[in-house]
């Protein structure tokens, strides 16, 4: 999926909303809405299109095409900037409430200065809407229900913006005078695939300067609650940040408590109770004497409970306590262990950067080897041919070893057809160093057909890695239905690795599936599936997910030295 298309889709949608809220004509808002959808779903990357090219996309007229060109050139769309300045971000959030339209949202903002869903909920609670025309009993009930729906859907945030925001806040607060420690905890530290809110901790004697600093940060759009122990703010994107300041001697206990998960903490607290101890965010206390017995570091707290330090990515009560008690915690794979990326694209298909740029950037990242795996012909819109991919192979061989001695592997991302067949005959596949094979169509086959299809792909002697195995898109598309136990068994039997695709909206396989597959002895490849140079850095999300799936270096083929990897890639049955 082309990134620019997505950005422009989001921007045009926002503009449509802003037009509707500010009372612009409904026809115009709809026109932008339709253009947004067309560009988002357009198969070709718009990033290098001019206005004429854009106008060939259905529902994109001259005026919209010009605005898109403006955005592609400057990174901004002036009309959107103008309307944004007039309407707080929270008002746009209001119209995401099912049953609340733009007209009502504007009225709430103009008459009652309500500019967020929380403020609206509070206003209804306080019966502040009673005198507002058009907001009778029934309407209020509908809105209340709409807010519930919205909150149940859970405005969880994907990892990248959560990490960026957390790192920015930690950097800023670390610079405030009196800061002894600062870090983020919560689900982000555990690298959950989405994050409900950020939990930031500071160790310091006085809390006020940090609460003040947080409220004054550029990322802070709204102060939700301010206190001496805890302050909560919200960013313009609607991400809530909870800041807690605690004394330095409680740092370890605080980090342990606020890292969670709740399920993990229930286990640690129970262990404490059995030893006559009480565990809180301030420390581990002797129940009888009330004296603190451990609190300064997490290691100390776990040690006093009779446990080794447990990596945050394991703290989900999925067996880590038992493993820790038996001294059997896995030595988790880290980003430093990754020696190469085995699934990446170039502008020969839907990537944004040319081969040379991708190779250079990968070498700069310190990779020892790197595979280029552009799309195969059956993904028709990519227009791949044998000639094109062979020409790429020649260029790639010429580049091999030229950047920091990084070795290059020539691969392709095959399409697993409806019956498990893949692109190209075996003689041609034999010319690749490795093949990724992925589902790109026919997602709604029934379970038996899908299972057979995936098993057949595994049995292909040239298929080394199943790319983004379930094809789920987090919060948007569920994974395909298959008998995964059977697929995992087939992977283990045939020497086919399963991918942990690091794209933050995929993270596919997910942590729980990884755990199940690992039990079958399956190997994994943690890949960026990069379509541009910046995407190469997304590996960290894949590594986080791999850790949550308990993977060690030995489980992950792209941590292995190249000779071992090459042996794995030579599956049995190959000619
Ligand atoms: P999130 O924000 O929904 O992505 O998930 P978390 O895990 O960050 O949850 P959050 O922000 O509600 O709380 C942060 C951590 O604080 C949580 O993982 C464990 C701890 N915590 C919060 N409330 C409780 C509680 O009632 N009991 C226990 N044992 N721990 C709690
Ligand atoms: Ca949280
Ligand atoms: Ca929280
Ligand atoms: Zn790919």
The closest-lying atom of ligand 1 relative to the alpha carbon of residue 264 is 29
Q: Which residues form the domain of 18?
A: 4-153
Does 385 map to a domain?
yes
Which CATH number characterizes residue 295's domain? 3.30.210.10
Residue 385 banded pLDDT, cuts 50, 70, 90: very high
350 lines ligand 1 (CB under 6 A): no
Q: Determine the distance separating the centroid of ligand 4 and the alpha carbon of 438, expressed in angstroms.
A: 8
* Domain match, 474 and 499 both: yes
Ligand nearest to C-alpha 375? 4
Q: What is the number of domains present in the chain?
A: 4
* Domain match, 351 and 480 both: yes
Instruction: Give CA separation, 168 vs 190, 198, 238, in Å.
Output: 18, 12, 16
Q: Which of 34-43, 44-53, 84-93, 135-144 has the highest mean pLDDT?
A: 44-53
The preferred substitution site among 156, 260, 282 for testing ligand 1, maximizing ligand atoms within 8 Å of CB, is 260
Can you tell me the distance from the alpha carbon of 329 to that of 247, in angstroms, rounded to the nearest whole number? Answer: 31
Residue 86 banded pLDDT, cuts 50, 70, 90: confident
* Closest residue by CA, ligand 1 atom 1: 196
The closest-lying atom of ligand 1 relative to the alpha carbon of residue 187 is 8
Which is more confident, 151 or 290? 290
For residue 203, what are the β-bridge partners?
Answer: 181, 246
Instruction: Give CA separation, 307 vs 176, 186, 195, 250, 290, in Å.
Output: 34, 20, 27, 19, 22
* Domain match, 368 and 429 both: yes
Rounded to two decimals, the pTM is: 0.78
Q: Which of 119-128, 170-179, 234-243, 564-573 has the highest mean pLDDT?
A: 170-179
* Domain match, 164 and 96 both: no
Ligand nearest to C-alpha 260? 1
Per-residue model confidence (pLDDT) at position 144: 87
Per-residue model confidence (pLDDT) at position 507: 97
260 lines ligand 1 (CB under 6 A): yes
**Mean pLDDT over the full length of the chain:** 93
**Residue 2 confidence (pLDDT) above 60:** yes
Q: Determine the distance separating the centroid of ligand 3 and the alpha carbon of 258, expressed in angstroms.
A: 8
Can you tell me the distance from the alpha carbon of 524 to that of 334, in angstroms, rounded to the nearest whole number? Answer: 14
**Residue 140 confidence (pLDDT) above 90:** no
Task: Read off the pLDDT of residues 248-261 as tens digits, 9 standing for 90 and up.
Answer: 999 999 999 999 99
End of a domain among 153, 182, 206? 153
Lowest mean pLDDT among 117-131, 210-224, 351-365, 379-393: 117-131
**Residue 334 confidence (pLDDT) above 80:** yes
The closest-lying atom of ligand 1 relative to the alpha carbon of residue 261 is 18
* Closest residue by CA, ligand 1 atom 3: 196
Mean pLDDT confidence for 115-119: 88
Per-residue model confidence (pLDDT) at position 152: 58
Residue 98 banded pLDDT, cuts 50, 70, 90: low
* Closest residue by CA, ligand 1 atom 17: 260
Task: Read off the pLDDT of residues 300-321 as tens digits, 9 standing for 90 and up.
Answer: 999 999 999 999 999 999 999 9
Closest CA to 499 of 557, 414, 434: 557
* Domain match, 32 and 171 both: no
Does 197 map to a domain?
yes
Per-residue model confidence (pLDDT) at position 325: 96
Q: Going by DSSP bridges, is the β-strand pair 230-235/240-246 parallel, antiparallel, or unpaired?
A: antiparallel
Task: Read off the pLDDT of residues 414-423 as tens digits, 9 standing for 90 and up.
Answer: 999 999 999 9
Q: Determine the distance separating the centroid of ligand 3 and the alpha carbon of 300, expressed in angstroms.
A: 24
Q: Determine the distance separating the centroid of ligand 1 and the alpha carbon of 370, expressed in angstroms.
A: 39
């Amino acid at each position: 999926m082309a990134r620019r298309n997505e950005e422009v889709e989001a921007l045009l949608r926002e503009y449509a909303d802003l037009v509707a809220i500010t009372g612009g004509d409904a026809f115009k808002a709809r026109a932008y809405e339709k253009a947004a959808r067309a560009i988002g779903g357009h198969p070709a990357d718009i990033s290098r299109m001019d206005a004429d090219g854009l106008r060939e996309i259905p529902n994109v007229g001259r005026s919209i095409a010009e605005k898109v060109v403006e955005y592609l050139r400057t990174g901004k769309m002036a009309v959107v900037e103008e309307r944004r300045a007039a309407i707080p971000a929270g008002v746009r959030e209001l119209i995401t409430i099912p049953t609340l339209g733009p007209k009502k949202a504007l009225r709430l903002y103009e008459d009652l200065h309500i500019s967020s869903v929380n403020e609206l909920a509070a206003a209804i609670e306080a019966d502040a809407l009673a005198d507002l025309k058009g907001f009778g009993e029934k309407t209020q009930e509908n809105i209340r229900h709409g807010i519930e729906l919205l909150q149940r859907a859970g405005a969880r945030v994907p990892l990248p913006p959560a990490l960026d925001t957390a790192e920015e806040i930690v950097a800023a607060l670390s610079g405030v005078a009196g800061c002894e420690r600062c870090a983020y905890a919560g689900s982000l530290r555990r690298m959950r695939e989405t994050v409900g809110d950020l939990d930031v901790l500071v160790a310091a004697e006085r809390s006020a300067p940090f609460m003040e600093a947080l409220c004054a940060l550029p990322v802070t759009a709204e102060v939700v609650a301010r206190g001496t122990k805890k302050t909560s703010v919200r960013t313009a994107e609607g991400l809530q940040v909870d800041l807690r300041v605690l004394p330095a001697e409680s740092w370890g206990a605080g980090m342990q408590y606020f890292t969670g998960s709740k399920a993990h903490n229930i286990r640690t607290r129970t262990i404490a109770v059995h030893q006559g101890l009480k565990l809180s965010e301030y420390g581990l206390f002797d129940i009888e004497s009330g004296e603190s017995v451990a609190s300064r570091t997490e290691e100390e707290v776990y040690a006093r409970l009779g446990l080794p330090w447990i990596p945050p990515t394991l703290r989900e009560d999925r067996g880590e306590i038992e493993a820790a008690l038996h001294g059997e915690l896995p030595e988790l794979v880290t980003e430093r262990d990754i020696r190469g990326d085995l699934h990446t694209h170039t502008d020969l298909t839907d990537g944004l950067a040319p081969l040379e740029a991708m190779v250079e950037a990968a070498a700069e990242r310190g990779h020892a080897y790197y595979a280029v795996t552009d799309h195969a012909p059956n993904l028709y819109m990519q227009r791949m041919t044998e000639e094109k991919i062979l020409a790429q192979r020649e260029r790639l061989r010429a580049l091999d070893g030229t950047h920091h001695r990084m070795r290059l592997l020539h691969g392709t991302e095959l399409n697993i057809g409806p019956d498990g067949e893949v692109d190209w005959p075996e003689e041609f596949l034999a010319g690749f160093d490795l093949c990724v094979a992925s589902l790109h169509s026919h997602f709604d086959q029934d379970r038996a057909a899908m299972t057979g299809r995936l098993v057949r792909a595994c049995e292909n002697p040239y298929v080394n890695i199943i790319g983004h195995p379930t094809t789920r898109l987090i919060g948007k598309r569920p994974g395909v239905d298959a008998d995964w136990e059977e697929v995992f068994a087939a992977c283990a039997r045939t020497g086919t690795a399963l991918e942990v695709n690091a794209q933050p909206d995929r993270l596919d396989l997910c942590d729980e599936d990884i755990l199940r597959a690992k039990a079958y002895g399956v190997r994994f490849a943690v890949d960026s599936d990069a379509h541009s140079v910046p995407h190469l850095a997304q590996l960290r999300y894949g590594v986080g997910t791999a850790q949550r799936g308990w993977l060690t270096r030995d489980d992950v083929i792209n941590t292995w030295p190249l000779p071992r990897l090459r042996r794995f890639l030579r599956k049995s049955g190959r000619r």
